[in-house]
Structures are given as C-alpha cells and as structure tokens.
C-alpha cells in the first residue's frame, strides 16, 4: 500500500459515531507508529482535510469544498438530476442515485417524493449495506463476474451474504437472475416500511456506472404498479445514459 493510500485510511476512521480522534487513537486503529500518525495528521491538517482541536482531530473544511465541487462537476449526477426530478413528479416516489466506490454503495443524490419525510433512507455520502436493498443488489448484479466473485470471497461469512446463498454457485445464480430481470424490488430490506425499485444506468463498453432507485412507503404498495415503475425507471435510465454518451462525444470533439 502506498503512503498516499495509507494517509487516506486516516479519513476513513471518522464516522457519525467517531467525530474526534487523537494522533494516538489513529496510530492504534491503523497499527502504525505514533511518529507516523503525527506525520499523517500534520499533512492532512495542512491540506485542510483535518481540523485540529487542541490535539484532537476532526474532518476538515476541505472535504466540504470538494463535495460542493463534485455536486457541480459529476457528469453522472449532472445527467441524472433533472431526470430524477421528473421521476418524482411522475411517480410521487423518492428518487435515489447511487454509485459504487471500491467496496461501498454510496447514495450520491436524492430527490424528494410524496412521502419523503417518512422514509429513513441514508443521506448523501452515507454508504448503504453492500448486500441488502435494491440499489446495492442491482449494482452487484451488473458488476463484472470477477469483481462479484471477489466480493463474495471477502464477505462470504457476513450474515447478509449467507442469507442470499451459502455457496458461490448459488450466490452467482442469485445475481444472474436479477441481471436477467434488469431490475430489483426490495421489500423493507434496508428501512422498515420502505420498498425500493432499482435499475442500472449502463454505458456501452463501460457497463453500469450507477443505479437509480424509486423509494416509497409500504402503505402505498396497493396503489402502485411496481412493474410499471420498473418500466418507467428503465426508460429514464436510458435517457440518462444517452445524455452521458452525448457528453462524452462532445468532450471527445473538444479534444480533437
């Protein structure tokens, strides 16, 4: 592992439950020496990624500015944002855009629907369970086979994985069936009282770059046609993919 990657590991130590850490805490949690930990926090503080509160460190303001920039510059988000708003208006469901970074499925944007306030879904930047929920399962279903196998081997003893299958062939078949269907419907897998319908945003020669989901309260299930929602979602995802394709062509023409 490079020094750069090791320094970034410091940032991953922070969470909702861990907001302040000393250099000694960081040394212990990363199993590194105290001088190395002090060097890491000094570099991160100097770059604005950490803030120093009398020897205790929190995430710094630089991360906030980077979040602002990615909201403005992320091509997938820019292509999806207006489509998501239209989806909410058309279906009255909450719309969620998720992407996969390393081994995490992350909610990067949401547009509020009719019963948005009653849904306890994760907010922007908060990782979702890797093997539960419609967004995660559809992303895994469209992941390359080698990556899916690697994830299975790394997490095969996790309860969520064992709830899907006890052996790799059955696990692979489970996600192959989802892939063939082209969408996944979850029923209270992540949040009690919430259903989700998800489908991938796919680009030629690249594959699934994100998933788009519609979330709604279980109380509304008798009033909604879930298969119809899935069909609408797939149509909208093709619109987003076309926007991304056009954007890539424009960028390519600009470089020529």
What is the CATH number for 166? 3.30.450.40
Q: pLDDT tens digit string along 24-47?
A: 999 999 999 999 999 999 999 999
Q: pLDDT tens digit string along 191-246?
A: 888 899 999 999 888 889 999 999 998 888 888 899 999 999 999 999 999 988 77
In a domain, 130, yes or no: yes
Do both 50 and 172 map to the same domain? no
In a domain, 69, yes or no: no
Do both 95 and 43 map to the same domain? no
Q: Report the SS3 class of residue 126.
A: coil
In a domain, 165, yes or no: yes
The predicted pLDDT at position 120 comes to 55
User: Hunting for tokens 């969408």 — which residue is that?
Assistant: 183
Spacing of C-alpha 221 from chain mean position: 25
In a domain, 94, yes or no: yes
Domain of residue 40: give its range. Answer: 3-64
The answer on pLDDT for 251 being more than 60 is: no
Residues of the chain with pLDDT > 90: what percent? 63
Q: Tokens for 232, please give them.
A: 């609408």
In a domain, 121, yes or no: yes
What is the CATH number for 30? 1.10.10.10
Q: Tokens for 218, please give them.
A: 């279980």
| Residue of 252, 246, 184 whose CA lies nearest to 215 | 184
Q: Tokens for 239, please give them.
A: 């619109």
The predicted pLDDT at position 253 comes to 46
Check residue 129 and report its DSSP letter: P
Q: pLDDT tens digit string along 52-104?
A: 999 999 999 999 898 888 888 888 898 999 999 999 999 989 999 999 988 88
In 102-161 the beta strands, taken as DSSP E runs, fall at 104-111, 127-128
Do both 120 and 158 map to the same domain? yes
The predicted pLDDT at position 20 comes to 94
Q: pLDDT tens digit string along 93-118?
A: 999 999 998 888 999 998 887 766 55
Q: How confident is the model at residue 48 (pLDDT cuts 50, 70, 90)?
A: very high
Supply φ then ψ for residue 58, to 5 degrees: -125, 170
**Measured on CA atoms in the order 133, 19, 44, 13, is the torsion positive or negative?**
negative
Distance, CA of 131 to CA of 140 (rounded, Å): 8
Do both 125 and 45 map to the same domain? no
Determine the number of helices (DSSP H) and then strands (DSSP E) in the chain: 10, 9
Instruction: Indicate the number of domains in the chain.
Output: 2
In a domain, 84, yes or no: yes
Residue 17 vs residue 62, higher pLDDT: 62
Do both 53 and 162 map to the same domain? no
Do both 117 and 244 map to the same domain? yes
Say if residues 139 and 108 touch (Cβ distance below 8 Å). Answer: no
Do both 140 and 230 map to the same domain? yes
Residue at a domain's end among 40, 64, 88: 64
């Amino acid at each position: 592992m490079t020094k750069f990657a090791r320094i970034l590991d410091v940032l991953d130590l922070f969470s909702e439950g861990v907001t302040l850490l000393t250099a000694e805490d960081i040394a212990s949690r990363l199993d590194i020496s105290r001088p190395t930990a002090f060097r890491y926090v000094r570099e991160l503080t100097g770059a604005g990624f950490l803030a120093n509160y009398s020897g205790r460190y929190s995430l710094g303001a630089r991360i906030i500015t980077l979040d602002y920039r990615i909201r403005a510059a992320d091509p997938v988000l820019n292509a999806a944002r207006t489509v998501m708003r239209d989806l909410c208006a058309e279906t009255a469901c909450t719309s969620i855009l998720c992407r996969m970074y390393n081994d995490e499925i992350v909610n990067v944007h949401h547009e509020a629907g009719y019963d948005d306030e009653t849904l306890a879904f994760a907010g922007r930047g908060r990782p979702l369970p890797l093997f539960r929920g419609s967004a995660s399962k559809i992303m895994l279903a469209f992941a390359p086979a080698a990556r899916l196998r690697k994830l299975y081997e790394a997490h095969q003893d996790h309860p969520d994985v064992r709830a899907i299958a006890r052996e790799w062939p059955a696990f692979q078949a489970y996600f192959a069936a989802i892939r063939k269907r082209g969408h996944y419907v979850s029923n209270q897998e992540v949040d009690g009282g919430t259903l989700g319908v998800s489908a991938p945003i796919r680009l030629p020669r690249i594959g699934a770059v994100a998933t788009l989901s519609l979330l709604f309260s279980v109380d509304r299930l008798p009033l909604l046609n879930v298969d119809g929602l899935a069909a609408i979602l797939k149509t909208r995802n093709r619109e987003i993919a076309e926007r991304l394709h056009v954007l890539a062509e424009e960028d390519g023409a600009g470089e020529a």
